[in-house]
Amino acid sequence: MKRAKALARLNGRMLHTYSRRTTAALRAALPLRLALPHLEPVLALNVGKEVAKDTLVILRAGEAGNVEAPEREAILAQLMLATKEIDRQFLARVGNFPIEIVVRYDEIVPIRARRIKLLHDAALKVFAAGDGKLRLRGALQASYSRDEFAQLLYELFRLHAEETRSLSRSVRLPRPLVPLRELIAQELLNVMLRAAWSLAKEIAAASCPPPAPPGQTIPD
């Protein structure tokens, strides 16, 4: 579980960095700049929700070990139910603000299910690297090339952005901005995707070494 907790902390730092970069980019984008006073409190609380969900998934992967496919599917179903409890806690905190939020599960569940599975499978792969004897950085390097890790991170960020777009569509906006709701939600997604790719490449470059020249190896 020590490595699972380390991976969960790393994931939390990545999500908080992603949130900060997204918010900074939103401040420069119209019509998002107009809607940001109404979106920003939700986005700030939402990142805590996402960190809590991902931590649950990563720690569960640390407990699961090498399980058969039917048991793994049962674990993923349990995790989906557990994330809904985290949603309820999130909605209770949002209730302290003059904001109305509805979680659109018809849109969110397929996106969240893909993200849970992707993160769970990736965590299992990292934990199994080197028969579980490597430290986290070495396990990441043994599991993914730089390009593979960047693509994994981008996909995780993309799914997070898709769910955030759905959430943003239920934020109560001033009457003049209501006709722009769909445009605002789409522009939020566009901004998040642009931030996602640059951050994914940056993290992968810092975490994974470049390919070794033929006949050479890179030490852990």
| Domain residue limits, the chain | 2-207
What is the arithmetic mean of pLDDT over 57-64? 90
Model confidence at 218, in pLDDT bands (50, 70, 90)?
very low
- The rounded distance, in Å, linking the Cα atoms of 143 and 129 is 6
Model confidence at 119, in pLDDT bands (50, 70, 90)?
very high
- The rounded distance, in Å, linking the Cα atoms of 209 and 10 is 18
- Three-state SS annotation for 122-164: HHHHHHHHHHHCCCHHHHHHHHCCHHHHHHHHHHHHHHHHHHH
- The rounded distance, in Å, linking the Cα atoms of 10 and 19 is 14
69-79 pLDDT per residue, tens: 678 889 999 99
Lowest-pLDDT choice from 96-100, 108-112, 141-145: 96-100
What is the arithmetic mean of pLDDT over 127-132? 82
